[in-house]
Amino acid sequence: MRTLCLALLCATPLRAEPPAIAADIAPVHSLVAGVLGDLGEPSLILPPGASPHDHALRPSEARALSEADLVVWIGSELTPQLERNLEALAQDARLLTLADLPGTRHRPARTEPLFEDAHDEAHGHDDHADEDEHAHEDEHGHEDEHKDAHAEEDAHGHDAHVHDGDDPHLWLDPENARVWVAAIAAALSDADPDNAETYSANAAEMTKRIEAAETETRETLAASDLPPLVLMHDSLGHYEAVFGLSVLGSISPSDAEAPSPTRMTALRDALPQGACLVASPGSDMRFAQALGSDLSVTEADPLGAEITPGADLYPALLTGLATALTSCKTPG
């Protein structure tokens, strides 16, 4: 009997382990975690609060990259330092560069202090208006689009296309998140066919959660009379376009640049009374003080540094940004 049991065990194929996955930032890590579900836990390369532009890897983060079978990242425009780390540490890993996937929606980076007609320039059409009704879904169909994205990523390998002059905060468009969830599920299914059905089911559930968060965000913003908004740096363009926000401008083009005196003067002269400054964690508030004493302030973190990493983070990020914006009240 023992011999028979051993023989049966030997004849039973071993179930493949899910691939080791590393994700660059917390919102992307959240999408990967949602697709993986109970099958595994992705590694987060940039810890909460770290700057995507110049973070120096800790030993544990470097080890996670070197051990990864699949690395999911936005692309080099957001994390130029990580691109160099990938070349050195993840030569054998497959890269899924989300910025390069067909179906990912892009916006131009805004360099001027005031955002006149910014929304009209976005995506080459009218401010996501039709896209908000999900008309974009019938262009080619999500299924075929994501398969094409997956195939093209194989062809790109490490030589991913760079979108010069783009706003790199692509994850703040929930449609991009839906495109990426499908691509992540396809990549995992290719690497681990035994669990393909689970990845597909998890991706469908994660997509529903993103859509529910998007709906809740719209309701929160629609119920609030927002004051005129100005950003500490230009990080919310994708979120503005999707949810129809009106933002006057930004103190800095990015969090890596300090504003010039000319820029500050132009912005201060254009600000109406009662405007609200949307600051990022760790912002230098001296610039805010230079804009005027009646400027109210709220803090909104596009990376979700205060949210526990995991599948819940991305939906909480969408709704949390809306809550932060609506908490900025006009003084008096």
pLDDT of residue 243: 96
Looking at domain 224-326, its CATH superfamily turns out to be Nitrogenase molybdenum iron protein domain (3.40.50.1980)
What pLDDT, on the 0 to 100 scale, is given for residue 152? 38
Residues of the chain with CATH 3.40.50.1980: 18-107+126-219, 224-326
Q: Residue 256: its pLDDT value, please?
A: 64
pLDDT at 50: 85
Task: Kindly list the averaged pLDDT for each block of 10 residues, start to end, along the chain of length 332.
Answer: 45 66 98 97 92 87 96 94 92 96 95 69 40 42 41 36 72 98 98 97 98 98 91 92 93 77 88 87 79 83 95 98 86 49
- 3 state SS for the chain: CHHHHHHHHHHCCCCCCCCCEEECCHHHHHHHHHHHHHHCCCEECCCCCCCCCCCCCCHHHHHHHHHCCEEEECCCCCCHHHHHHHHHHCCCCEEEEHHHCCCCCCCECCCCCECCCHHHHHHHCCCCCCHHHCHHHHCCCHHHHHHHHHHHHHHHCCCCCCCCCECCCHHHCHHHHHHHHHHHHHHHHHHCHHHHHHHHHHHHHHHHHHHHHHHHHHHHHHCCCCCCEEEEECCCHHHHHHHCCCEEEEEECCCCCCCCHHHHHHHHHHCCCCCEEEECCCCCCHHHHHHCCCCEEEECCCCCCCCCCCCCHHHHHHHHHHHHHHCCCCCC
Q: Domain spanning 18-107+126-219: which CATH class is it, in words?
A: alpha beta
Q: What is the pLDDT of residue 293?
A: 66
Q: What is the pLDDT of residue 52?
A: 86
Q: What is the pLDDT of residue 329?
A: 63
Query: pTM to 2 decimals?
Result: 0.81
